[in-house]
Structure formats: C-alpha cells, structure tokens
Amino acid sequence: MVAAYAGTGNQVLASRCFLTFCELEEYNLSYNQLTVFPTTPLNVKTLRKFYIQGNNISSFDVNSTTFGQIEDLEDFKADLPSDSAVCSTGQWKSTHGARFCVTDSTTGNSSSGTSPLIFVLFAGIVVVVLLACVLVLQWLTYRKERSSELHSHASGDEHLYSIFNPDFEAHETMRVRLAADPIIVTNRIDYGEVKLGRCISRGGFGLVYVGTYRGRRVAVKKIRVNRDAEASQIEQFIREITLMAMLRHPRIVEFIGVAWEALVDLSAVTELMERGDLSTVLRNCREKGYRLTWSDHKATIALHIVEALAYLHSLSPKVIHRDLKSKNVLLNEEMQAKLSDFGISREHHDVETHMTAGMGTSFWIAPEVLNGQDYDERADVFSFGVVLSELDTDDYPYWDAANQPRSKLQEGEILQLVATGQLRPSFSSSCPAAILEVATRCLQVRPEDRPSATELVRIFQDLVRLELSSNSTDLRASSLSMDSVE
C-alpha cells in the first residue's frame, strides 16, 4: 500500500512512491494547521484511508459529491465541528463518526431552478475555453519569439535556459511528475519567498547559493539548466529532492522545501551550514597553521558522520549514501557535522534488489563496487574509513602531500590496487592507535569484516567520552574493542 504522511508544517515524514505515478491509498494530513477542509486528495481514485484530525478546520461545509467520496472511504478520521457550528445553507449529515454540512443536497423534486444553473455552467465553460485558447496562442507566439532570440545568440549565455529550446518538450514528463508526486507537492514552498544571494558552490550540473527564506538564511541548490541540460540530470535532481524530503535526523542537513515556478527554477532549499564542507575546513586550517585535533573536534565530527550513517542504514528499506566523502560533510557555526548531497543515494532492498556500480567519487569507493560486485550499506562504511584518513591527515586520500596528483593513468593504477586490497589511504604518524584500529576495520576488503554504522556510533561515543587527544597513542585499543559493545 502506498501511503503519504504529513507532519507539522506540511513536512513529509515517510513515503515510498518516489518518482513514479503513485497509486495512493492512504493520506495522513493530521496536525498540519489546516483551516480549510482539504478536498483535493479525495479525487485520487485509489484513496482508501484519509486522516485530518488535529487541525484547525473551522468549516465542514462540503458538497454532496465530496460527502459521497468520504462515505466510500474504508477509514476516515477528523475532529468534530464545534457544538456552536451552524449549517444554514444545507443539512447536517454524518459518516465515519464525523458531521458535515452538505450544502448542495437535493431538498425537493422541483426542477424549476435547474435551467438557470445549467445556463450559468455552460456560459462558464465557454468563457474558460476561450481564455484557454487565448493563452495558448500567446504562449506559442512568445515561444516562437524566444526561440528566434536563442538562435541569434548561439554563443550561449547561461541565462538562455533550455525551456526556450525546441528539445525542451522532452522535460514535459518531469513537470507532470512534479505536480503529481505527493512528497513534492506537500513540501512545496513559495518560490517568490526564496531570495538568492551569491553562489557558493558549483558542481557538474548543480549550483548552490546563499539565500533567504522568510527571514532565515538558507542554502538553495539549483540545477544548472542550460541548453546542454539532459533530462536524466533533472530527473536525478528530482529524485534527490524526494529523498531529502523524507529524511529527518539531527545529523542530516535539514530540508526546508522545494520551490519552482517553471522547471528551470527548480530549487531545493535547506539549512545553511555556515562553515562549509569538511574538506575545505581541514585544508584551510592547515594552511593557516591551526590544525584541528582529535580531542577538540575530529572525534566529534566522526561521531556525527556515523550517527547519520546509522540513521540511513536503519531505515526500511535501507538508504545507502553511496557518495560519502569529506566534501559531502558540512559543518555549522558550532562545528557540528551533518551529511549532505544525496544525489546518487539509493534505497536497498535486501531480497529483491542487487546493487552494482554507478556510485560516488572514485577514491572513496569500496573494493566490491570497483570490482562490479553486489554491495550493500557496508560500502558506506568503507568510504567512512577513507574519510577518517582525511580527518587524520588534513589532506586528500592517496593524492596527499607525499603523493602529488599526476594523471588519470595514476588514478587508474591506484584504484586497481584498492580493488585488490593492496593499497589503503595513509594516516599520520601521530594518529591515535584507537582511531587507526577503527579505520583499519572499516577499510577491510571483505564487507563482512567491517563494523556496522551502529557499532561505529558506540565506538566514537566512547572516544568522545574519553576525550582522546592527538597524543594519546598509548590508549589501549582493547578499551574500545567490540567485546565491550552490547
């Protein structure tokens, strides 16, 4: 059964329909501060259960069609109208233990009033059709003018988006998906309230801006939609937004909403992590002569990362991040770490789905993925082991100060050695023994030899409690061994 749940402030908590056209059977809008009775979900033919209790709905006036739809449901729950509520334009009717003022119920057999009503309806339909024709004609004229302008500026300005390109019709399906997906619709916010500032990050097909939304500083991720934009990139972005909307955890970057007016405006609005990504912070601190230590920040950052992984891996079905690296770990003003960038994350079903290849940046990829084998959430644990190397050395894995990057050929050679278990990222000579032991376990070639994210949470909770310092290399590894974990 496909179900959609909405919590306070229209925040979707769980769903499993993603980007397919959902055969929605259950819709829960309880405790959403609604003031008007929501009738739109009742138009979904497959809907069987509908819940709207805990809202501030002041009027339970519905027409007979809506009342019939409610009667046909298997289950319906709503708060009762107050005793002082009046029904002056219809009559009270009850179903599923709730009362409704049915406003257009037939109260007599006279047909004297039907003819004027039919005339009004017919006239309204004619007006709507005429307006639609005018709008279509204006749109076709505008599109033709903009298409000519596009061809006259073939040098390619980034503001000439592909919506004016004749090939843009291929994106029509995605616009329909946006309008039909209950997760997207429930989390939609007003695009006009999202104000963009400077661009702080540029990716292969994405841009991230500092912005504001209702007075709050936010991060706004937009797809780089130009004439070269591919439908697959837009679809991947929509999939990422859908997944972000489902995730709720203190160690996951908070998703605020999705906004758009046209497909080219599609924006994911999240909390702003003021200090940026972990990779940049580590290198900036090193260049300024101030290095973070395991005792002041690094152990806590590692704990935050594995807390996020443990949450993702605990979901049903499990969510595998697939692109864990320091660039995708963001830090706020208090140096708290949160996981971001779910562009290539996937759900993993233990029984029916096998996952192979097609995942994150090469130097963080687990051997089983490099070898084209099936993999599961333990691939994220291997990537975390590489992140521990970055935390310890304040440098890139493999291509660090001692091994400067040279070429794609060298990258291929490195990956071959990683895939066969002959090479692991380096650690500093001052790396605490307990950290090195944990990293070694995470970087095992055989996935079954790696600890789970839940085990890693308990290990790093112990490390943080012990206030492990960068000089505490004499700390006995046995004090953090798996034997001490319940």
Catalytic residues: 323
Q: Peptide bond before 116: cis, by omega within 30 degrees of 0?
A: no
Burial class of residue 455, CB neighbours in 10 A (0-12, 13-18, 19+):
middle
CB 302 within 8 A of CB 324: no
Q: How far is CA 112 from the centre of its chain?
A: 56
Instruction: Give the bridge partners for 59, in sequence order.
Output: 36
CB 166 within 8 A of CB 227: no
Structure tokens at 29: 């809008």
Structure tokens at 206: 């994405």
Q: From CA 456, how far away is CA 383, in angstroms rounded?
A: 13
Burial class of residue 311, CB neighbours in 10 A (0-12, 13-18, 19+):
buried
Neighbours of 469 (CB within 10 A): 14
CB 157 within 8 A of CB 227: no
Alpha helix ranges (H) inside 250-348: 278-287, 299-314
Q: From CA 286, how far away is CA 293, in angstroms rounded?
A: 11
Which residue shows structure tokens 């400077």?
198
In 11-46, which positions are buried (b, 16+ CB within 10 angstroms) versus exposed (e)?
bbebbebebeebebebbbbbebebeebeeebbebee
Strands 2-7 and 24-28: what pairing?
Answer: parallel
Instruction: Give the bridge partners for 93, in sequence order.
Output: 100
Name residues whose C-beta falls within 8 Å of residue 468's C-beta, 6 or more positions apart in sequence.
Answer: 294, 295, 299, 432, 434, 435, 475
Burial class of residue 214, CB neighbours in 10 A (0-12, 13-18, 19+):
exposed
Report the helix count and the strand count for the chain, using DSSP H and E: 12, 18
Structure tokens at 200: 């702080």
Residue 196: DSSP 8-state: E
Query: How close are the terminal C-alpha atoms of the chain, in Å?
Result: 36
